[in-house]
Structure 1
Amino acid sequence: MMKTVLFIVGPTAVGKTAIGVDLALTFGGEVISGDSMQVYKGLDIGTAKVTSEERKGVPHHLIDTLSPGEAFSASSFQREAFQLIDQLFLNERLPIVVGGTGLYIKGLTKNLSFHDTDPDEGLRAELEDILAAEGPAALHQRLKQQDPKSAESIHWNNGKKLIRAIEIVETTGSTLTEFGADVEEEPSYQTLLIGLTMERSKLYERINLRVDQMVEQGLVEEARQLYTSRLEQSQAAKAIGYKEFFPYFAGEQSLDDAILQLKQNSRRFAKRQLTWFRNKENVEWFDRTNDTYENTLQKITDYVKGNSKESSNINI
């Protein structure tokens, strides 16, 4: 019988963590974090990392596994998550992937083939310096000399894609086309995607309130530790919740302005998350705007029971 992997997705602050834990308790599952920042040790408040009390004894995976200076990519997540899923299947446990990092989730639901190169920090820094000093046109010209086909397909003003294409050709010797594009294949398991959503204004209120609570809990001090560790260029330091405070630490901005910027960035991020999951995934949505937590949980529980009867790893 085909086994099932359950996904809990949606925007930040909508309540995915609690739903994931309670479904794990109901169906005999374990949680795999699908958040790109919760893998980092010490980044607890800004990532809204699930606490030991909130876990209610449910095992959680891919949390606190790396130091902030280490890199973690979508392909890294996919590789480790697939290993965890296979192990949970062997143990007759339900894997529940909880998170809002769209590409991480798609890597599992579509079995994407990622073709990552190991990051060359020196080259990346050089290219970013060129982008800042000379603009994207200089990068476009550099790519055109080495990979004309990619230069033709990538807009001259898209600095991020230009840097990535140059990285590939200069670190692998292959053009972007030769290196390979993402390939979608059917996964070997059933995927059930549960999406949590909420009316926009209410969600934004929750986000603003959560930022205030994070500040009260010590977010500024947590961000300062990352800043003073001189890891400003690391992947972790670029996360929403930390980078907003760096101008404040540098004396370039007030604390109030930094907090306002964090709220704005978080709201924009939530909007992007909703757009991603609505456009790229087959999600069953549950609107929490006017519903209690208990009612939402019951509806989701009933949906899982009604749509996974052919699966052998859900304890119904």
Structure 2
Amino acid sequence: MKPKIVVIVGPTAVGKTRLGVDIAKQLNGEVISGDSMQIYKGLDIGTAKVTKEEMQRIPHHLIDEISVHEPYSVADFQREAQQRIQDICFRGKVPVIVGGTGLYIESLLYNVSHGGESPQNPAFREEQNRLADEKGNRSIWEKLYRLDPKAAEAIHENNRRRIIRALEVIHETGKPYSSLQDEKKTKEPFYDAQIIGLTTDRTLLYERINHRVDLMMEAGLLEEAKWLLKQVEPGAQSAKGIGYKELFPYFEGRVSLEEAVEQIKQNSRRYAKRQLTWFRNRFESVSWWDLVQRPESEAELMEEVKNFLQTK
């Protein structure tokens, strides 16, 4: 039998952290973070990392585990999360995966890498970006079409980032990028997962995001970003998170603080929109809930999760 796990997904600022703790408390669980930035030590405010008080003594995994100097890939997450799930289940507890990094969650559920295991090649990416700058995005899309028509047909010619990633995977592995996508379609899910999706009215969500950024600034996000920039170069993976990268131009005197903060809000709203699109389009059988406008429905949600865990 496949291990049973509970997965909580959704956009930023919608209440995933609190729900994860509530479920773990009531159903003898432990939380595993599915967030690509909360793994880093010292990045607390900008990542909205769960605090000791918010944990309510519930064990949390894959939080505060590596230095900001270290890279962290989807393959690293997949491996570590699988090990934690195995250990939690062995101890008779329920793994509760909480996070908004769609690629990480999908790769864990379907046990596929989506190219995460292939070596990264910054020089190759820079070369492809330069080519696209000089000759247009279609030039690199046509290159992908020659190498992997199936992948090219699935990627819009203006989606430069995905085109270059596909080319990079092909360059580094010698395998078609589309074969990774086929793997997900043909492979059975690795776990018996109850996937809970949190959402709410978009206008309300954007208001919550804006308010959260204001609270982050009050809590010391500016100082945290300054500290990060002293530790690593702006191109480091840990420095690419929303809430940090937007402040670097302010430190360089290129934008005002007000402009930088507004950019954080705008990028956070755009990210939330992408998160919702990802989870709606890529995941099947998601049980969607709006606990922001209907907090009383959490009791019904909890009953649904209990029934899932009791079903053999």
Instruction: Provide TM-score, normalisation by structure 1.
Output: 0.87
- Please give the residue correspondences for 1:19-168 in structure 2 after superposition, counting only pairs within 5 Å: 19-115=19-115, 116-132=117-133, 135-137=136-138, 139-140=140-141, 147=147, 149=149, 153=153, 155-168=156-169
In structure 2, relative to structure 1, the CA distance for the partners of 1:142 and 1:303 (3 Å cut) is closer
Contact 2:148 2:176 in 1 (8 A): no
Q: Report what 1:287 is aligned to.
A: 290
Q: 1:199 aligns with which of 198, 201, 204?
A: 201
Q: Distance in 2 between matches of 1:178 and 1:193?
A: 26
Shift of 1:230: 4.2
- Tell me what 2:300 maps to: 299
Could you give the per-residue CA deviations for residues 132-171 of structure 1, whole angstroms, max 9, x where no partner exists?
A: 45543554566577x2747864555432233223323332
Indicate yes or no: 2:170 matched with 1:169: yes
Deviations 1:38-89 (A, max 9, x none): 1111111000001111111111111122222322222321221111111111
Take 1:50 and 1:208, find their aligned partners in 2: how far apart are those partners?
19
Matched residue SS, 1:68: coil
What does the per-residue CA deviation read over 1:281-316, in whole Å, with 9 as the maximum and x for residues that have no partner? 221122124333xx24322211112232225xxxxx
Q: Sequence identity of aligned pairs in percent?
A: 47
Contact kept, 8 Å, 1:24 with 1:94, in 2: the verdict is: yes
Deviates more, 1:191-200 or 1:214-223: 191-200
Letter in 1 for 2:198: L
Tell me, yes or no, if structure 1 residue 268 matches structure 2 residue 270: yes
Instruction: State the AA in 1 paired with 2:14.
Output: V
Q: Distance in 2 between matches of 1:32 and 1:305?
A: 19
Instruction: Give the aligned residue type for 2:7.
Output: F
1:182-261 correspondence to structure 2 within 5 Å: 182-184=183-185, 185-261=187-263
Comparing 40-49 with 181-190, which one deviates more in the overlay?
181-190
Q: Distance in 2 between matches of 1:290 and 1:155?
A: 36
Shift of 1:237: 1.7
Amino acid aligned to 1:169 = I
Q: Which moved more, 1:20-29 or 1:109-118?
A: 109-118
The 3 A distance-change label for structure 1 pair 139 and 225 is farther
Q: Is the 8 A contact 2:8 2:99 kept in 1?
A: yes
Q: How far 1:231 moved relative to its partner? A: 2.1
1:204-249 Cα shifts (integer Å, max 9, x gaps): 2211111001001111111122233342112222221111112211
Give the residue type in structure 1 aligned to 2:215: Q
* TM-superposed deviation, 1:181: 4.5
| 2:4–2:191 contact (8 Å) kept in structure 1 | yes
> Greater shift after overlay, 161-170 or 51-60?
161-170
In structure 1, runs of 5+ residues without a counterpart are 312-316
Q: 1:163 to 1:2 in 2, by over 3 A?
A: closer
Contact 2:112/2:180, CA 8 A, preserved across alignment: no
Alpha-carbon contact 1:2-1:310 (below 8 Å) kept: no
Flag as ranges the 4+ runs of structure 1 deviating above 6 A.
none
| Equivalent in the alignment of 1:314 | none
SS at 1:32 equivalent: strand
**8 Å Cα contact 2:31/2:96 also seen in 1:** yes
- Change in 2 beyond 3 A, CA 1:74/1:151: closer
Root mean square deviation, CA, Å: 2.5
Contact residue 113 and residue 182 of structure 1 kept, 8 A: no
**Whole-angstrom distance in 1 between the partners of 2:249 and 2:272:** 23
The answer to whether the 8 Å contact 1:69/1:231 transfers is no
